[in-house]
Amino acid sequence: MAKKDRADQDNGSKLQWFFFVVIIPIVFAITLALIVFTLMGVNVFEQAEKYANKVPGLSQVVNTEAEEEQTREKDRLQAKIANNEAQIEELEGTVASKEAKIDELKQQIVKLEADLRTASEAGEEDKEKDQRVTELAVSFEEMKPEEAASIIESMNQSLAVQVLEKVTSEERGEILGKMDPESAAGIASLILDSSSE
């Protein structure tokens, strides 16, 4: 048992000896070297990183500042790309809605142009019809009131009203006086209604 105690004591003293003789002086030397190099203006950690990157096994473990900067720059650029893509999608949506609005307005223009042509054609037809009615009214003014009255009684009432409106009031009175009283009254009331509009 005494041998065992002595062996444990020798092992403990060898460990203490190694700690005091090797470890503490190495730590002291490293600390002293760091202080001296720092006072000389050398960035020890940067240099250690540079040399560690040259060693094949350590280069994968040590992440340099440049690599970290590259990683940050890459992340920043990817975020910028994502932001730009979102803006592009938004602008494409705006363009699509504007194009739809333009198409709608073009359709309205086409419709309005067609309506204008139709109205223009209808206006020309109305002018021609109005001119024929005026010519007919002139013909009735040149006729004797009895002849004009018999022709107007046999005409469509709306056409008769249009013709009599173009005739002078004196001629109109003579023609209406020669007509059947019921027909004359109906036409006279239609003339009054159309002139009040």
End-to-end Cα, the chain, rounded Å: 140
> How many angstroms separate the CA atoms of 117 and 149, rounded?
39
Cα torsion 113, 115, 117, 119: sign: negative
Q: What angle do CA 91, 98, 117 make, to 5 degrees?
A: 165
| Domain parsing of the chain, residue ranges | 19-62, 117-196
pLDDT in tens, 146-197: 888 888 888 888 888 888 888 888 888 888 888 888 888 888 888 887 766 5
Q: For residue range 83-120, what is the model confidence (pLDDT) as tens digits? A: 999 999 999 999 999 999 999 989 988 898 888 888 77
What letter represents residue 143's amino acid? M
State pLDDT tens for residues 1-31.
555 656 556 666 788 888 888 889 999 998 8
* pTM (2 d.p.): 0.39
Distance of CA 128 to the CA centre of its chain: 49
Instruction: Decide if 166 contacts 195 (C-beta within 8 A).
Output: no
